[in-house]
Every structure is written in structure tokens, then in C-alpha cells.
Structure 1
Amino acid sequence: MSGQNDRRSAPGSLSDGVYEHIYKAISAGEWTVGAKLPTEVELAVQFGVSRPVVREAMVRLRIDGLIESRQGAGTRVISVPSRSVVEFAEPGSIADLQRCYEFRVGVEGEAAFVAAQRQSRAKITEILAIVDKLRIAALEERDIPAEDDIAFHVAVAEATENSYYFSSVKAATVALYIGTKIARTLAHSTVGRIALVYEEHRLIAEAISSGDAESARSAMRAHIESARRRVFVGA
């Protein structure tokens, strides 16, 4: 990675570049679990960026559960992400995919909240029908089709009867599709894990249908956070 090119990049992309490089290096086994990373100063020199840029990237890696820092002991790798993320994501888009999950937690959590308040029975009937499709797929096909997963989230947005939620969720469906495809390639996508994914959707739909707005929001936020961990950490 060229330091000169980094300096010409927008500030936001500097930490993205450092984050993605370290993420890929850990994924590829260049740094294994327990390995100590270079210091912030050393990484800043290596990438030709400032220490605050490196620090921002490291904070995001810690949030992802890939590294941990201890006073006097430095920063070590504590988890190795799936290489499927690198294989499926567009070059330079891993950081964007992460940000999309962050965005979805807030927006879709509130969409579920509003959908539960609106109580549009026609829209809720559609949500429940999709959940039933997910149940059948989980039982008979041992899979959750990406298209049905996306349809569920879009249906929840539609149930808000607010076009801004619908437009926002639709805009995130590309990242949602990539994330779902990655999750389906992982060796740990067992029958039990697929059943868990179905259960997360069922809980959201149940809360929306019953008008429990707080539970709907909590269930949706928990589902998206779990989806992010499944994709990036394999947890």
C-alpha cells in the first residue's frame, strides 16, 4: 500500500485502508491468534498515515472482536475471520460492508419499532408469510435463501408505511445480499445455526404482529448484530 496514495485519499478512506489491510492479513493467517501486532507508531510508518488514522482502524478491529489491547502488553489477535468475506466483498468494500451493518442496526431497529406501532395487518400478514417460508426452508432445505431473507427485511420496512424507511432498507439490500451469501459459505453454517437464524426472524415478526414495539426493535437490532458477527467473526 503506497503511503503517497494514502495521503491523496479522503480522510475516511485512510482508516478504511489500514483496517482492510490488517483484516485481510489476519484472515490470510499472516497474524495468527495470539500474534502481537506492530505498535501504532510502526503501523503508521508502514502505511504512511498518522497515528489517529491507525487508532481509528484498530478501534474498529477491536469492536469486530479480532484484536484486543492490554496496557503494557500491546495488541494481539484474538480471533481469525472467515476468508469468505475477502472473497465475496468487492475490493476496498469490507469497511463499507461493516458500516452498512452499523447503519442497519439503527435504521432497521427503528423500522421494526414503527411497524409494530402501525399495525398494518396486510403488511404484517406478508411478514408472517415470509417467516413461514423461512421456517419451511430451514426445516426442509437446511438453508435460509438470501432472497427470502432480504424480502423479510424489506417487508418490515414496508410495514412502517414510511417511504424513508423503505428506501433506506432497499439501498442496503446489496450489502445484505453479500452478507447472506458469505454466511451461507461458512463451514459452521450448521442446521443448528440455520435454525437460530430462523428463530431470530420469528421473534421479530412475533413482536411486530403483537404490537410490542420495544421488543420488535430489540429483536431486530440483536438479529443484525448477530448477522454481522456471523459474517465477520464467525461467532
Structure 2
Amino acid sequence: MTEQPIRREAVSDQLFTLLRDRILTGTLAAGAPMTAERELAAEFGVNRHAVREAVKRLQQARLVEVSHGGRTRVLDWRRTAGLDLAVQLARATGSPTHDLRRDVLEMRASIGADAARLCAARCSRETASEIVGAAAGYVGCGPDLAELAAADVAWWRLVVEGSGNLAYLLAFNTLVDGSLTAGEVPTDLRAAELLDIEGHVRLAALIATHDEDGAEAAARALLARSVPTAPIAPEHEGGQA
């Protein structure tokens, strides 16, 4: 089937998306040479500058490799791409991922549990007091789930910052920037976690008393409430987290 010419606005962005999807779905296989610049320009009816810009973005995402001779090769994104690709992966047309949103929520639960442990071990008295105070403020939120979700993000930011782990903080920023997860999991699917006021207050208290094991277990139990046991149904796609 012949693809329709892409719109003229943001041409390089649109071309990047189309080529990205071809790589993620295997239409452009790992190890294969990238379609020639001239051919891409002719196929989509765009100038070669737009093609170069799109390929540059693919290179930055570690989806292709450009050799010194100018030849471009498709990379195996499962081995080369970083976490930043997760935000795009769930939105890719025909992406082969089985359920990226579940994967990210599982990662969130693991990182969050260890961040809570480290926070209990490392945070200052002032930070612990701030976390306890934020948990007390969380009690007054809701039952609107969107309000609870916003308060939950702010509270977890305190915990992750208190862990003193910069890598965890950057991962947290990536997840939040993708509306908590790359798949933008709707708040109604996270209701059990968000409405567990007691769980938030208990975790804050464990951190404040420097109970590392207790904080880790409580955080894992709380965050696990949002990890689905089955793939997220299509009717829930596109919601806000």
C-alpha cells in the first residue's frame, strides 16, 4: 500500500515519526542499511534537508548509526536505545511491545521501593518532616483522582529526592514527563494506589523513623497496587495518569 505524502508543517518531525515506526516494527530491520536519503525525499515529497534532520533525530535516539562515510545502518533498538525511547514506544504505530505500560509500572514499583529504602537511610530530619507533612496534606486531597495523582507525584518527588540517588531522580523525571508512564495510564486504573491514604501516611512514618526495610516493603506494596495483572484494555488508552 502506497503511503500518503506527509503534511508540510513540521516535515522533519513527521518524517522522524514514520521512520521511527518502521524501525520499531521491524519494517526496517536491525543491521539493514537505511533507505537512501534521495529515495526518502522522493517517497515523501520532501526536501533532503528534512530527511537529514529526521535521520539526525534517529541517530540521537540510537535507532540508527551513521558511519564516517555517510552510510546509515539501522540499529537493534532493544540493545542501543535508552529509557527516553519508552515515552515514544507506546505511541508508535504497530509497535511490537507486549504491554509497555505494565513494564513501566513494574519498573516504577521497583525503583520506588528502593528509593523509599534509601530515603529512610539517608534523608535529613528536615526532609523527613517535609515528607510526613506532605503525607498529611495528601489526606485532605480527593476523592478526585486527578487531584490525588498530582499530590502523589509531588509526594513521591520528595521521597526520590530524599533517596540521594540521581539516577533514580532522572528516571522519575522521565516517567512523570510521560504522564507517569509512557502509555499514559489513566488514573482510574491507579485508583487503588491513589486512594490508599493510610498507605501513604504509613510509608512517610517509616521513612521518618529510618526503618529501611519497613519503608521498602510498604512502598512496594503501595506501588504494586497500580501494576496490572493483565494487559490494559484498549478502551482505557489515552487517559491521564
Which residue number in structure 2 is paired with residue 65 of structure 1? none
In structure 2, runs of 5+ residues without a counterpart are: 1-24, 31-89, 234-241
C-alpha separation in 2, matches of 1:181 and 1:228: 10
Which residue number in structure 2 is paired with residue 37 of structure 1? none
Which residue number in structure 1 is paired with residue 176 of structure 2? 173
Shift of 1:181: 6.2
Matched to 1:166, the amino acid is: L
Match of 2:166 among 135, 159, 163: 163
Q: Equivalent pairs: percent with the same residue?
A: 21
Residue correspondence of structure 1 range 60-209 to structure 2 within 5 A: 90=91, 92=95, 95-138=99-142, 144-175=147-178, 177=180, 182-184=186-188, 189=191, 193=192, 196-209=195-208
Residues 13-72 of structure 1 deviation map (CA, whole Å, 9 limit, x = unaligned)? xxxxxxxxxxxxxxxxxxxxxxxxxxxxxxxxxxxxxxxxxxxxxxxxxxxxxxxxxxxx
Residues 140-159 of structure 1 deviation map (CA, whole Å, 9 limit, x = unaligned)? x5764322111111110111
Asked if the contact 2:132/2:204 (under 8 Å) is kept, the reply is yes
Instruction: Tell me which stretches of 4 or more aligned residues in structure 1 moved more than 3 Å.
Output: 5-10, 89-94, 141-144, 174-181, 193-196, 229-234
Shift of 1:207: 1.0
Q: Secondary structure at the match of 1:138?
A: coil
Which residue number in structure 2 is paired with residue 44 of structure 1? none
C-alpha separation in 1, matches of 2:150 and 2:214: 25
Shift of 1:196: 4.3
Which residue number in structure 1 is paired with residue 10 of structure 2? none
Shift of 1:230: 9.0
Across the two proteins, how many residue pairs are aligned to each other? 148
Residue correspondence of structure 1 range 52-67 to structure 2 within 5 A: none
C-alpha separation in 2, matches of 1:230 and 1:127: 30
- TM-score (normalizing by structure 1): 0.51
- TM-score (normalizing by structure 2): 0.50
Matched to 1:109, the amino acid is: A
Q: Secondary structure at the match of 1:122?
A: helix
Q: Secondary structure at the match of 2:227?
A: helix
Give the RMSD, CA atoms, in angstroms: 3.5
C-alpha separation in 2, matches of 1:9 and 1:150: 38
Which residue number in structure 1 is paired with residue 227 of structure 2? 228
Query: Are the structure 2 counterparts of residues 102 and 133 from structure 1 closer, same or farther at C-alpha, using a change threshold of 3 Å?
Result: same
Which residue number in structure 2 is paired with residue 80 of structure 1? none
